[in-house]
Structure 1
């Protein structure tokens, strides 16, 4: 089932404002519905990869990576991969030392 029009509008508005938009697992479907993955590589949970690729041909699905980060939009492969994506974002924003601290605590 597609996300509600209100969710799609909210995602588009957030992106237009310059917010970083991040999805975990099947959340990539909502980003794709909003058009935020058109012409971009993305990932989602491996069990949903075939459906995602069929429904959103404008996105370039890479089912073999843990996450994809374009700076303004990022997707993770699943709930476990979300941890890797979050640590990547912390490292990008706050540096490797802080990301290492977060990963240990």
Structure 2
């Protein structure tokens, strides 16, 4: 299934916002748009699973060390930018770490 320009644009906005506001961006997009569109559902599920783990890592690392907190934050931002680049390029991607709360097998990007 090929993604349209609008789907790609909205997905990239969701991904880049998730670097700033975390788990709430994919959750909000999932609640509002994913019921109508399998592409949004696919990307939101993957992003939500990733940001759920990052949220837990933020909470743990902030109690341990300030340096560890900023390392987790830098990892999140770099990884989200990498995934957004993959979405722009229509390449398959996967998050390096995630908690599989939502199943991710409904929609498959070409080449994955």
Fold conserved (TM > 0.5)?
no
The structure in which a higher percent of residues are strand is 1
Length-normalised TM-score, structure 2: 0.29
Q: Tell which has more relative contact order, 1 or 2 (C-alpha 8 A, sep 6+).
A: 2
- Normalising by structure 1, what TM-score? 0.30
